[in-house]
Chain A
Amino acid sequence: MKSLFNILVVSLLLALSSAYATPEQDKETFQNFYTEMFPDISLEGFGDGVYALDQDARDQWEAMNDFPPYEEDLEEGEELFNTPFSNGKTYANCFENDGKNIRQNYPLFDTKQNKVITLELAINNCRESNGEELLRYKKGEIAKLSAYMTYTSKDSLINVKTPDSKEALAAYEAGKQYYYSKRGQLNFSCANCHTQNAGRRARSETLSPALGHPTHFPVYRMKWAGFGTLQRRIDSCNKQVRAQPLSGQSEDYRNLEYFLTYMSNGLPINGPASRK
């Protein structure tokens, strides 16, 4: 069983490191790896993270969600979203479809600036172009705003694209590289925990599959008593392995988010969500 599993992992790593694989082929390999490993979980079920794997934890989680702990912060996000800037314009003016139901398209690759634009970066770009101060990344107002924008996108399928450009592909490849590289004093890659050992336990913590990670962010963590963006969550993992967390919206984090979200293409947005 274990050796069969190792063959699976090694073939996944080989497939993903093949120079000829397109992002689309990577995605197929990536999703098949998890759906074969967890045949009882539907594709959209992966958006529930560890709660798709552990029934006891799921029962507690569902009970908690009868009164979601994030309700108040989500309402605040809506208020912030609708509050006009001092020039009278609003966030709705910056985005397609007035900023509703668009989370599934982020991160996107901007072929003019040649960089990955996450939703949080787009929020601050909107503020900047309207002469407002930039928000701090990872938590606070930006996470509340982003949570509201996720909320208006519920059930839409993640649809991240790699435009036909050398730079877009390079950003994607850099994100993939980050995901599979070992780092920190403890020498873990994201893949060590969320691919190779998904479903196993580190002490009493079940390790979630990376498939489905981006569907439900920002997440309200009891530990934070507030919302945090995907990049804030990744900080926690980097600290665990004694690696230096990166600053919010740094190039490495944006590229990682681009790769990670591309791998979940086709899964429905189901956030914001609560986690312990």
Chain B
Amino acid sequence: MTPSITLLKKLSLLLVLIFLTNIAIADTADGKKIAFDRTKGNCLACHAMDDGDMPGNIAPPLLAMKARFPDRAVLKAQIWDATVKNPISMMPPFGKHQILTEVELENLLDYLYTL
């Protein structure tokens, strides 16, 4: 193996790595947008979260998500359809009523776990 090829290999590995972390960062950035956007999650209507401006005070603040929701499926279920747990819940059923797509939900979850 010539030295130039090893260098090329290393370089391309580096590129792949950069690419992957970028996707991860892009996902959580998208997730934040989805959470804040009034036409998407609009979580701020009810929850204080992150650096969100003028949040409502209808629901508990969203923080320490990793500690409080170690199981991603449990968190997803709450967002998919909150009325399963609490039939008179005010929270819209984002998955069940297709307010958010599957991809948007996953991006949102990635973002929530950064809180």
Contacts and interface: CB of A to CB of B under 8 A. Distances in A.
Interface of A: 9-10, 13, 185-188, 192-193, 196-197, 200-205
B88 A203 contact: no
A107 B30 CA distance: 49
B58 A185 contact: no
B97 A185 contact: yes
A201 B92 contact: no
User: Most chain-B Cβ atoms within 10 A of its Cβ — which of A10, A187, A200?
Assistant: A187
Given A202-B56, A203-B55, A204-B54, 16 more contacts: A9-B88, A185-B98, A186-B97, A187-B92, A187-B97, A188-B90, A188-B92, A192-B88, A192-B90, A197-B58, A197-B90, A200-B56, A200-B57, A200-B58, A201-B58, A203-B54
Contacts, number: 41
What is the interface of chain B mostly: helix, strand, loop, or mixed? loop
Nearest to A207: B58
Contacts of A9: 88
A187 B93 contact: yes
Contacts of A13: 88
20 contacts: A13-B88, A185-B92, A185-B97, A185-B98, A185-B99, A186-B92, A187-B83, A188-B90, A192-B88, A197-B58, A197-B90, A200-B56, A200-B57, A200-B58, A201-B57, A202-B45, A202-B46, A203-B45, A204-B54, A204-B56
A186 B44 contact: no
Contact of A196 (B54, B88, B93, B99): B88
Interface of B: 44-46, 54-58, 83, 88, 90, 92-93, 97-99
A10 B88 contact: yes
B65 to A, nearest CB: 20
A201 B90 contact: no
10 smallest CB-CB distances across A and B, nearest first, come from: A186-B92, A202-B56, A204-B54, A201-B56, A202-B45, A192-B90, A200-B58, A203-B56, A185-B97, A203-B45
Contacts of B97: 185-187
Nearest to B98: A185
Contacts of A201: 56-58
A200 B88 CA distance: 16
Given A186-B99, A203-B45, A196 B57 contact: no
Nearest to A193: B90
A13 B90 CA distance: 14
A10 B83 CA distance: 14
A201 B45 CA distance: 8
A238 to B, nearest CB: 15
